[in-house]
Structure 1
């Protein structure tokens, strides 16, 4: 037969009240101990009887638990700050250990501080160096091939520009080549450029000047050239 539900009110019988207090006190202390062990919790329990007797339990000590309780009550953020500081300290410790490991690896790759390494570690280091050297050579070859391709492309561009310039220069010089004979003929007979066939006097004058010019240039006899006192040149009395 199961135990009946006890009504929650003060027990009037003094003896029954004392027995119930002893049983439930022991059960409460046992539960506090189990909670602190199973859950890794800081538990503090203080009990005063009706006769002013003190019963207490503290997983880390009742006084330490009370001091912590007072700190939490005075500043509720202290506990969270403490946990945050502890987590940051752990993170800093991890980063410091990782940094030291990377420094050792760098010294090993540079061939320094190889004394503590055993044969297996030295073999692994050798493999790492060979792999790094292979990758460096492949990258160097790739860069050289890219540079050669770039130089070839520039060479082709310069060749095309040279061809276009040659074609352009040849087109610009072609009118002078076609008109060269007429231009040279005009240079040989400069007096014919301004003569009019209807003016006989002008034709005769130009003809006489041309004859005199030809005789003078070829060393033959021609009109005499004289200079007057002031330095003016005259041909047959014509002042030039």
Structure 2
């Protein structure tokens, strides 16, 4: 609810859309953000009519080499309950963010204009954000809000793939299809299993040996780990 994330100002809208992209797609800290264009993400629609944002262009990254042509992308579905902050509505072409970008520049991340009016057709300069500026996104936001500590862009990725969110109910192959990790060993660094869960798994083995049915697993009590981001 911070003013720095309000969709009613150029900088707030930029911050919110970038936070959504980083979280829903579990992006690496500096994964070609400065090369993203207005066509990097597109709007799709599920059979039930629900809209979603997906990555329509592959990028050559550390975890996705040229010979691996499979498209790695998550889905950012619309929020029909909180429509004012719906991530699809805020991003959607001709509606909010992309329609406010400077038409003379094809980059997705542009500097906000210093002076603007709410009804202006464009809120952003013909000046794309560079790699260093994008790399300091969450660090700067942490200091402005302020948050309880200074976080890095990598913190968003860890939150998405760890037991805080996706790691609590989805398999590693499923998460890898969103995050772009190329091996389970690299993804496993984000997963932490509690003693309670280890006890349950041990009991599952014991029960199998003696022919008893396993009880349902309790919800994960794991937490994301403290980490140092490599920017």
One fold, TM greater than 0.5?
A: no
Q: Which has the higher helix share?
A: 1
Pick the structure with greater CA Rg.
Answer: 1
TM-score range, shorter-chain basis? Answer: under 0.3
The alignment's TM-score, normalised by the length of structure 1, stands at 0.18
The alignment's TM-score, normalised by the length of structure 2, stands at 0.19
